[in-house]
Structure 1
Amino acid sequence: MSEEQPVAPVVSLRERVKSPPAPAMVESYFGPAVAAGIRFQFEPEMRIHMAHAVMLAECGIVGKVDIARILAVLADLQATGVKALTIDYQQEDLYSYIERHIVETLGPETGGRLHTGRSRNDLHTTSWRLVLRGLLLDLLDVVGTIRRTLIDMAQQHVETVMPGYTHSQHAQPISFGYYLLAAADLMERDYGRLSHALACCDRSPLGSGALSTTGFPIDREMTARLLGFSRLVEVGYDGVSIRDDLQEAAGALAVLMTGISRVATDIQTWNTMEFGMLELDDAYSSVSSIMPQKKNPQAMEHVKAVAAMAVGALNMVLAAAKNTALADVNDGVTAGNVPMLDVLERACRALTVFEGAIRTLTVKPDTMRHLAETGFGTATELADIIVREAGMSFRMAHNIVGRVVREAIEAHHTAMDITSADLDAASQALFGHPLGIPVEEVRKALDPAENLKSRTVTGGPAPVRMAEMLDRRRAMLDSDLAGMADIRRRIAEANHTLMEQARRIMDDAGLQTPSQIVRENHGTS
């Protein structure tokens, strides 16, 4: 009879409970949680494991030979990917399978040392912050590109006259460039909100432990540097219990997408046959299956749909945390991650569509100008001329022009048909005397382009003001983009340093290749 082989020591993360998870728990919770971990957390977790391992070695908490062997397995797993893991959905997160893989490869005496001085609580909040940070940086890149496109197009259309609207009615003449500059300024403020959300997210909770840090002499600042964080979430309880980083990102995204959806609504409206001021490029349009004449503004509708998802994600993130204990709880700390990150990814893609659709618009200046000339949007300037030329109060001038406009509409005339004599007649009827406004002054007041030139007040659409504002916006955008490039550089340099330190520890232990540790553990050459 052959000698029995010794049973390899086994460690478990379910030792506190006797039974496996119920099938309903696996289907509703464990399975989706592991799938989300595979989708979002694998790469961030690998960096966290390496950073924590390097720190344990450098602080002398775990021997460098053991850490070198752990790092080698991590490097091998990182190169192979999730397919190296055996996932049976009996554990609730990706980390459990990564730790099991390490322990099965190295044995519990060595493999079980990686988790020294940390908890899944701080591991998870750190990994979710890394994912959120990366997606916020991607989103900021797209918003920066939109700002550039809006500024460039505003430059091209400084003198493209169009009607300005309030309450969906003709209000005053503006230029299409002026409209685009307003949208660019909104995007600038969105950029600021997202940047602040990024700063809130860009803090390391690693080392918080379950909630009160740890008795081991870990170096939290070191792991923060190795992961490229700008600073710590200093209080351990805060680090694992509060997700205002996710909430602030959700709020900034919802505000951004709400503003974008309003612009998309205008573009969709002005793209109609009734307005005819713009036309979406074919690449951002769709067709009807039955009506051959249709060219649908699919890009704008898609953007507005994703905006609705962003608003919904904000509601979900806040509602999940509302009325939960200020502590580590799944609903308040974890539940909002996947919906929010999913919407962030969707928003990045949808905003890329939005930018392309705006950049490739066909603008129709003649139609825009015609609508601006005929829609009585110059009435305010006409009243201003009366104030300046006749010395009347604005309210009296407002009465005169209101009467003239009403009579013109009733006679089926346009704004360009109004004459100095019409003003005299209205003034005589209302106040007992004519005005005597020169014909040329009335003509200028009714010319939308002249209206623009007269708006030289700070923030007005006059071309001279537009040139100044556009120059300042370009400089501000360049500064903002340079700041984001610095953050990306810091993260890339931290990742490089992490890999170099891990490689040095492995080299010092004589592990020339990641797979060597696997061969050593199994006794093969």
Structure 2
Amino acid sequence: MKFAPEYVRLVLNENFEDAKSQFLSPLMAIHRAHLVMLAEQGIVSPGEARAIRDALNGIDPAQVRCVQYDGTYEDLFFYVERLIAAGCGEDTAGRLHTARSRNDIDMTMYRMQQRRMILALVDGTTRLRRVLLDLAAQHREDVFPAHTHTQPAQPSTIAHYLMAVVEELERHAVRLQAAYASTNRNPLGACAITGTGFPIDRARTTALLGFDAPTGNTYGSIATVDYLLESVSAATGMLTGLGRVVQDLLLWCTSEFGYLRLADGFVQCSSIMPQKRNPVALEHARAIASRAVGQASAIVLTVHNTPFGDIVDTEDDLQPLVCAMFRDAARAVRLVSAALEGAEFNTARMAERAAQGWITVTELADTLVRDYGVPFKAGHAIASQLVAGSRQDTAGSLSEALTAASERVLGRAVTIDEVTLARILSPRYFVEVRTTPGGPAPSETARAIEESEKRLTCDYAWVSETTGRLDSAEESLDAALTAL
């Protein structure tokens, strides 16, 4: 079949370039695994199996990736098929396509590629968590003003903030691992959409290709993309959270805040302003993450409102976008990790800001409740009046102002001496008494770090073991192919 030049230029050439760079390796593995299964099931003869094997082994992936598309063949599958035929003859090569279709080949190929990308993203989140946990351990006692509604709210610690990020990343890792489990199912054997009458062994190709199990319904094996949407959703959630954190970090890098200083290798100078230290690494991370979120939205919209079956909307035109999204997601995560690894917090500046703006006064209201039997609403009102009065009379006695405020609110005097008041209003005291599980007290943060270290160890193990299973499957496939 001769294709129209415009169709070749606008569609087939683009798809061929994407396929040879992204899907050649899984395609070749599928050919090999299917051949082993056909031979073991007696569907092809031993001689035919060896001839096809030798033809497959004779294909140089590096040369295939250098091929320029000329429109002779529809896509990468047919191009490789011609290479196999050139190596073992047309009739023998034709045996390889017994009991399969491009439909189940494509779906298998996409899942194989996607699982590697999910694995890389989980690995990236573990690396970021490692950096954040190290920073949190260094800054358990370093206070800074936490903000609500973009305004200084209460003192917290750098570690408390970072552990909030760590715990969110932990949840995203769980979601990504669940997405991996949904993705790592083998559609091979579903053929066009109804399976086959040949006595194939789907469990065998499942093992040889490193899948956890075969997919179920053969129609759904070809038609469904929920595994893809689950993965994209998990990645989008992670990227959205990451983007919010990067926004904070960039704000902290401003001279107005001055909380964070990136290492020289992650900033750039202006072409005209010699004094500039632009935190461009974080800006790039934000932009890359945003682009990945945009790609994720495009993936969902591409799939939305399409027929439930085999259709190119979920194949050649979609899968490169999936690859780009996961690649950018991993880039963003790794860039933030690298930028933070050598970054420094200006702890003195942060502590200074934590002592300003009366952001510790909640503790005064709490103390009035705990130690003086004052109802919280009344304690809140007393503290509020104290703040309002002190802003008008900065030189006055806080102890006297508190006594006056309590008389107005309660009709009786509550007296606290200046030294005790200073301690109550200290940012460090504020943090130290907040031993609520999950709170900023250094002792509680230490416990949280210890628990997160355990979860990180488990996730490191998951990445290592999952990678090992895939590598082991490749070795088993090589051995089975050699044994034909």
Partner of 1:306: 288
* 2:54 paired with 1:72: yes
Shift of 1:374: 0.9
Which of 220, 225, 238 pairs up with 2:202?
Answer: 220
Partner of 2:187: 205
Q: Secondary structure at the match of 1:328?
A: coil
**What is the one-letter code of the residue matched to 1:500?**
A
4+ residue runs over 6 A deviation: none
Q: In terms of Rg, which structure is larger? A: 1
Structure 1 418/181 Cα, relative in aligned 2: closer, same or farther at 3 Å?
A: farther
* 2:462 paired with 1:483: yes
CA distance in 2, matches of 1:334, 1:405: 64
Shift of 1:450: 0.8
CA distance in 1, matches of 2:65, 2:329: 29
Partner of 1:253: 235
Which of 168, 180, 186 pairs up with 2:150?
Answer: 168
Which of 158, 161, 173 pairs up with 1:191?
Answer: 173
Q: Deviations over 1:128-185 (max 9, x none)?
A: 1111111111111111111111111111110011111111111111100110000000
Partner of 1:520: none
Partner of 1:335: 317
> Is contact 2:293-2:325 (8 Å) kept?
no
Q: Secondary structure at the match of 2:483?
A: helix
Shift of 1:433: 2.8
Shift of 1:419: 2.1
Shift of 1:407: 2.9
Name the % identity.
Answer: 35
The aligned runs of 1:347-496 (5 Å cut-off) are: 347-411=329-393, 419-496=398-475
Shift of 1:26: 1.2
Shift of 1:437: 2.1
* 2:100 paired with 1:118: yes
Which of 86, 92, 116 pairs up with 2:74?
Answer: 92
Structure 1 57/315 Cα, relative in aligned 2: closer, same or farther at 3 Å?
A: same
**What is the one-letter code of the residue matched to 1:343?**
M
**What is the one-letter code of the residue matched to 1:493?**
S
Q: Deviations over 1:323-346 (max 9, x none)?
A: 111111111455321112112112
* 2:481 paired with 1:499: no
CA distance in 1, matches of 2:153, 2:66: 65
> Is contact 1:161-1:449 (8 Å) kept?
yes
- Structure 2: state its 5+ residue gaps: none
**What is the one-letter code of the residue matched to 1:426?**
A
> Is contact 1:173-1:451 (8 Å) kept?
yes
> Is contact 1:31-1:92 (8 Å) kept?
no
* 2:275 paired with 1:293: yes
- Structure 1: state its 5+ residue gaps: 1-13, 15-19, 506-525
The TM-score with structure 2 as length reference comes to 0.96
> Is contact 2:24-2:61 (8 Å) kept?
no
CA distance in 2, matches of 1:23, 1:169: 60
> Is contact 2:390-2:398 (8 Å) kept?
no
The TM-score with structure 1 as length reference comes to 0.89
> Is contact 2:144-2:354 (8 Å) kept?
yes
Shift of 1:115: 0.8
> Is contact 1:242-1:333 (8 Å) kept?
no
**What is the one-letter code of the residue matched to 2:451?**
R
Shift of 1:83: 5.2
Matched length: 484
Shift of 1:218: 0.9
CA distance in 1, matches of 2:354, 2:156: 8
